[in-house]
């Protein structure tokens, strides 16, 4: 997935490829490899260049607030339409994938059942937030291992919704 991201007023070209816990990334053409493990909703432990970082991301109306070691950054996707158009279409996730709520809201529709075969990009759930319905799509082709929510259930940003294997 290729994105144009603005962090701290500086625009960066970022290409991401995920393989299990390993994230391959090119930032402004420079290769970067990291191991990232989700340790809680919106919280990640990242091993980068032999150093460990605890990073928390919180979606907000003005971008993604990223907190690491007491420092806060705001990241914005420069062209959100480009990200939405490519997300899940050009790069398919590998391995067991947990689908998490991108924002707080209410699950208004579950579109699949546990055990069902699913294609990458197919709708899994619909979450309503701020009176808008957001279809949450499968990051990979595979089988729905389990659904962790039910219709009508309130969810928090980063909360696990389903698992695809």
Domains 2-83 and 95-164 share a fold: no
| Domain residue spans of the chain | 2-83, 95-164
pLDDT given for residue 20 in this prediction = 63
Contacts of 134 (CB under 8 A, 6+ apart): 102, 103, 105, 126, 127, 128
Across the chain, what does the average pLDDT equal? Answer: 80
| CATH number listed for the domain at residues 95-164 | 2.40.50.100
pTM of the entire predicted model: 0.46
Residue 34's pLDDT band, with cuts at 50, 70 and 90, is confident
Q: Where are the beta strands (DSSP E) in the chain?
A: 2-7, 10-19, 22-27, 30-40, 43-48, 51-60, 63-68, 71-77, 97-100, 105-110, 117-118, 123-129, 132-137, 142-147, 154-155, 160-164
CATH number for the region 2-83 comes to 3.30.700.30
| Structure-token match 């075969």, residue found | 117
Model confidence at 107, pLDDT cuts 50, 70, 90, reads very high
The CA angle 25-39-80, to the nearest 5 degrees, is: 45
């Amino acid at each position: 997935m290729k994105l144009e991201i603005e962090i701290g007023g500086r625009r960066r070209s970022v290409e991401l490829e995920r393989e299990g816990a390993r994230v391959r990334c090119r930032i402004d053409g420079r290769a970067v490899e990291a191991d990232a493990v989700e340790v809680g909703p919106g919280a990640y432990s990242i091993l980068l260049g032999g150093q460990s970082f605890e990073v928390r991301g919180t979606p907000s109306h003005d971008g993604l607030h990223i907190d690491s070691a007491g420092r806060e950054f705001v990241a914005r996707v420069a062209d959100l339409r480009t990200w939405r158009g490519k997300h899940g279409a050009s790069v398919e996730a590998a391995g067991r994938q947990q689908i998490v709520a991108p924002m707080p809201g209410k699950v208004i529709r579950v579109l699949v059942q546990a055990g069902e075969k699913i294609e990458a990009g197919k709708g899994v759930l619909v979450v309503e937030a701020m009176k808008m319905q957001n279809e949450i799509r499968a990051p990979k082709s595979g089988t729905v291992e389990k659904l962790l929510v039910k219709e009508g259930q309130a969810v928090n940003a980063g909360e696990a919704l389903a698992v695809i294997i």
